[in-house]
Amino acid sequence: MVPSAADEIRSVVITPVGQGPWPGVLLYTDIFQLTESTLRTARRLASYGFIVCVPEIYPHGDLAGVALEFDDAGKQAGMAGAAATSIADFDADRVAVLDYLENRSDTTTLLATGFCIGGHLAFRAAFDPRVAATVCFYPTGLHNGALGADADAGSLARAADIRGPLLIVFGSQDPHVPADARIQIISELYAAGLDDLELHIYRGGEHAFMRDIGVRHDPVLTDLALTEAVTFFQGR
């Protein structure tokens, strides 16, 4: 459990084999929370030499302690959890998890990543000057501000607050972030002065192509994207 101002945040922490210290990665899940699918990805990332902390994104309400199923009911519950969470609550939980990672005796650099809604949350984690680098996998809601209970998260408007390098990954067939939305995102990031920026668009990739359950999963693209992320983090 990670302590926070509101309540404890249920989290899974995965460490590499060895003595450390290692870089610490805040890894945000998609709307389904701490599923075995996401934790498999977290374990893979940890095996490259990172401490990976995976918090619940809805730790204080009815979904606390719940890993949702990848079905319609799970999707609706996850979306309802997002709609009930304010940006201020998301941000406060982020500070709590980064504080936890920073205060561990075996962590060095702080990094952030996430998937889908978690990709958007990772983008906001990059506002924290302690975060040395960030990888956002198919972040939803960046172009239109959709994230939680607030009408507009205003994340892109705060892009100039990002000091570390940023890598964003999309699939070319993602209906949630189509080509015009991707163009908007990259244009606004460059306009904000972010020049240490990489955008990777994987041809044929659908939304959530890295989730290893379901027909959208693409193992080849998953390996490519994870390798790019590890290389990106290791260079920081």
Element (H, E) at 11: strand 11-14
- Considering the candidates 30, 89, 207, 218, report the single residue annotated as catalytic: 207
> Is 207 among the residues known to form the active site?
yes
**Measured distance CA(235)–CA(228) in Å, rounded:** 11
Residue 71: active-site member: no
Is residue 62 flagged as an active site residue? no
| Per annotation, catalytic residue among 116, 120, 143, 200 | 116
Best CA proximity match to 169, nearest among 231, 78, 77, 107: 231
Tokens of 93: 């939980």
Compute the distance between CA of residue 40 and CA of residue 33 in angstroms, rounded to an integer.
13
Q: Which of 89, 93, 128, 174 is catalytic?
A: 174
End-to-end CA distance of the chain: 28
Q: In what order do the strands lie in the sheet with 166-171?
A: 11-14, 51-55, 22-28, 107-115, 131-137, 166-171, 197-202
Catalytic residues, by residue number, are 116, 174, 207
